[in-house]
Chain A
C-alpha cells in the first residue's frame, strides 16, 4: 500500500527577532521612517546642534564642572542608599508645614488621588506646568477618562506642552517637547485654537498663547506641577522653568498638587547648588533657567502667595524595585536631556521612534526598567553604545553600560530568542577553539565564492542581508593574517 507522505508543514514562525544578524522589530522600523522625513530631520538637527553647542560653551566655562559631576553622582548614590529615610523626612517636613503627603505606588494611585481631590474641591479647570512624571502615567488622558463626570478642563501651560496637547501629540524630547514641529505646523495648531488665522511669526503666536493661557491661569481651581528636586530636610519642592508658567500654576489656584518621582529627592538644601549649576547648563546651555521656584508647603500665615492647600504625591511607579540592583544608577537622572542631544541615534530618529514617554539613551534604559523588561524589548538595542550619553550626563550615569546590562538581562530572562542563543553558542565554541575558527574561515571562503562580484559579496537574502541591504560587504581575504604570518612577513 502506498503511504502518502504528509504535506510538509510550512514553517511560518516569525524568525526576525531570533537571528543573530536580523533586525530587531520596532525601533529600526520607526527609526527608518523618522530618518527619512526631511523636515523632521532638519528640526532635530537644529535643536540638538544648538543645545549641544550651548552646553559645551557654558560647561567649558565652568572649571569645576567635572568635580560637580562627581559630587552629583555621590549625592544621588547616597540618597538612593537611604531613600526610605529621606522620603520619611520629606513627608514629615511637608506635613509640618501643613501640606498633605500621599505615597502612590503607580499611576492609578495618582489619578485616583487627584480625581477625588478635584471632586471634593468641585474643580473645573486644572492648570499644569511641564512634568515628565505626569506624562509617564498619562495623567491628563486618564483623568479625563476616569473622571469624565467632572468634566475637567486640563490645560498644559508650558508653551510646547500646550501645543502638543492641542494637537493631540506627545512630547518627543524631555526638554523640548515639540522640537519635531516646525513653525508652519505650530501656526496651524494655534490658529485652530484661536479660531482665526494667526500670522506665522513667533511673537504673534506667543502673544496669542499668553492671552489665552492667562485666562486659564486666573480661573484654575487646581494647579499641578512636577518637581525637579525635592529637598528632604526642608520639604521644599524646586521646579526650574523658562516661561514663568510654573509660578502661575503654583501660586494662583487655591490648590497645588506636586507629582514627584521618588528619585527626585536630594537630602539637603546645600546639595541643590550642585544640581542647579549642572541642570540648565547641560540641558539648554543656560547658566541657570529663567525661573527657579521654591515651594515649601501651602501659604503660611503672613505669606503673600502660595496655595491654600498643598499636596505632595510621591510616586513610585516601578522605581523602588531598582534600588540596590545593577540598574540603580538609572534613578540618578535629573532629566536634563543632554544625553538625547548628543546621541547619534536620537539625532537620526527623534523621540517618537522610541515609542515611549522617555526617549533617547535614558528612555532606552528607563522604559523597560519601569515598565518591565519584557516591554519595549527593542529599546536596549536602540544604541550603538558609543558612550556619548555617558560623557554628556551631568550625573555621570554610565548609560551605555546599563544598556549592555539590559541586553544581558534579556538573555538571562530568555527574552532574546532561541535563534540568537544558538548562534552565540556556535560563536562561543568557534572562538574558543582555534581549530574550529580556522575551519569556519575556510568554510566561509567557500560559501562566499559564488557570491563575489566587483570585490564585494553580492547582496542576497539570508543572514547577511541586514548588512548588505544598504552597505557593500567586503569578502573574506584570500589569505588570513595568520596565514600570512606563518608564511613570514
Chain B
C-alpha cells in the first residue's frame, strides 16, 4: 500500500511534528509514504471567505500536484482539509464537468487519518504500541463529524491506547468556534464559543485535549493558554505515535 501524504499548510508551518507522527504511524503499519512536494494548501481560507475563483485556482494546483503521483490513497491528518477536497472541490467545480470529474476521482481517494487507519488498514492502537498517561477528551472537528461521518473511528483508536482514559464531556457536538476566517472576522463570538468548550472541558476533569484537526486545536489551545490553563493539547497522531512519547 502506497499513500500520498497531504499535510495541511498550518501543520506544515506551525505544527510539523503532527506530520512527522503521521509518517511514523503509517510506516509502522507497513504503508509506503510519499510526500508530493509541490503541495501547499487546499484553498479553504479563500473558499470559506467566498473567494471561489481564487479557491478554484488553488484546487487546480492541488489536483495537478497529486495527479502527478502514483498512490492508492491520499491521507490527511485533518477532517476539514480532507472534506475540502472530497466534498467542496466537486462543489466548486460543479459547472465544469471535466474538472469536476477530476475532483471527484481525487476526492474518492482522500482519507482522513483515523478513517484510513481504522477503515482501510484495520489498525488499532495496540498495533502501534501507543501509550499515553492522562485523562483526555476528544474533540471531533465539524467536517469530520458531519461531512465525513467519522465519529467512532478516532475514539476506537484512542480507547486502545494504554494508560489513556477517554472521558465524555457535555455538548461534545458543539463547534469549537474556529471556523477558518470566522475566527478573525468574528473574533469575539468565536472566542465565546471556545470559552463554552473550555467550560465543558474543565467540568470533565480531563488534563488533555485531543483532536484530529490541528486548526480546532490551535484555536482552543490559543484560548486555553491565554486564560492560564495548562491542559495538554495534542493531535490524535501524536497520541498514537509512541516515538512522540504521547507528544510530551
Contacts A22-B184, A481-B7; A28 near B225 (Cβ below 8 A)? no
Output the residue of B50, B178, B219, B221 with the most chain A CB within 10 A: B50
CA distance A381 to B188 in the complex (A): 13
Question: Nearest-CB distance from A75 to chain B (Å)?
Answer: 24
CA distance A31 to B91 in the complex (A): 31
CA distance A401 to B52 in the complex (A): 13
Stretch from A251-259, A260-268, A471-479 that touches the partner: A471-479
Interface contacts beyond A345-B186, A388-B173, A408-B50: sample of 20 additional A-B pairs, CB < 8 Å, sorted by A: A23-B184, A28-B185, A32-B188, A35-B188, A35-B189, A344-B174, A381-B186, A386-B142, A386-B146, A386-B175, A387-B142, A391-B146, A404-B50, A424-B54, A467-B222, A470-B188, A471-B191, A481-B7, A484-B19, A489-B23
Q: Is A384 an interface residue (CB 8 A)?
A: yes
Q: Is B97 an interface residue (CB 8 A)?
A: no
Q: CB-CB < 8 A to A20: which residues of B? A: 45, 49, 181
Q: CB-CB < 8 A to B41: which residues of A? A: 431, 437
* Closest chain A residue to B60, Cβ basis: A432
Query: Could you list which residues of chain A lie within 8 angstroms of chain B, going by C-beta atoms?
Result: 20-24, 27-29, 31-32, 35, 344-345, 347-349, 380-388, 390-391, 401, 404, 406-411, 416, 420-421, 424-425, 427-428, 430-434, 437, 441, 444, 456, 466-467, 469-477, 479-486, 489
Contact of A477 among B16, B58, B175, B223 (CB under 8 A): B16
Contact of B193 among A384, A401, A406, A411 (CB under 8 A): A384
* Closest chain B residue to A470, Cβ basis: B191
Instruction: Determine if A23 and B186 form an interchain contact, defined as CB atoms under 8 angstroms apart.
Output: yes
Q: Is B11 an interface residue (CB 8 A)?
A: yes
CA distance A479 to B184 in the complex (A): 26
CA distance A383 to B54 in the complex (A): 21
- Chain B window 214-248, contacts with chain A (Cβ cutoff 8 Å), 1 for yes, 0 for no: 00001101110110000000000000000000000
CA distance A485 to B183 in the complex (A): 30
* Closest chain A residue to B194, Cβ basis: A471
Instruction: Determine if B50 and A382 form an interchain contact, defined as CB atoms under 8 angstroms apart.
Output: no
CA distance A255 to B7 in the complex (A): 67
Instruction: Determine if A407 and B193 form an interchain contact, defined as CB atoms under 8 angstroms apart.
Output: no
Within 8 A of A (CB), among B113-160: 142-143, 146-147
Instruction: Determine if B180 and A385 form an interchain contact, defined as CB atoms under 8 angstroms apart.
Output: yes
CA distance A466 to B180 in the complex (A): 12
Instruction: Determine if A428 and B58 form an interchain contact, defined as CB atoms under 8 angstroms apart.
Output: yes
CA distance A408 to B48 in the complex (A): 9
Stretch from B32-40, B67-75, B99-107, B201-209 that touches the partner: B32-40
Instruction: Determine if B179 and A385 form an interchain contact, defined as CB atoms under 8 angstroms apart.
Output: yes
Contacts A384-B142, A477-B15, A477-B16; A28 near B7 (Cβ below 8 A)? no
Contact of A481 among B20, B50, B175, B191 (CB under 8 A): B20
* Closest chain A residue to B8, Cβ basis: A481
Instruction: Determine if A32 and B189 form an interchain contact, defined as CB atoms under 8 angstroms apart.
Output: yes
Q: Is B12 an interface residue (CB 8 A)?
A: yes
Q: CB-CB < 8 A to A407: which residues of B? A: 48-50
Instruction: Determine if A383 and B179 form an interchain contact, defined as CB atoms under 8 angstroms apart.
Output: yes
A selection of 18 A-B contacts at a CB cut-off of 8 Å is: A20-B45, A384-B177, A386-B142, A404-B50, A407-B48, A434-B38, A434-B40, A470-B223, A471-B225, A472-B221, A472-B223, A474-B221, A476-B14, A477-B14, A477-B17, A481-B12, A482-B35, A489-B20
- Ranked nearest first, the 7 interchain pairs of A and B with the lowest CB-CB distance are A384-B179, A407-B50, A471-B222, A466-B184, A386-B175, A32-B188, A481-B16
Instruction: Determine if B54 and A428 form an interchain contact, defined as CB atoms under 8 angstroms apart.
Output: yes
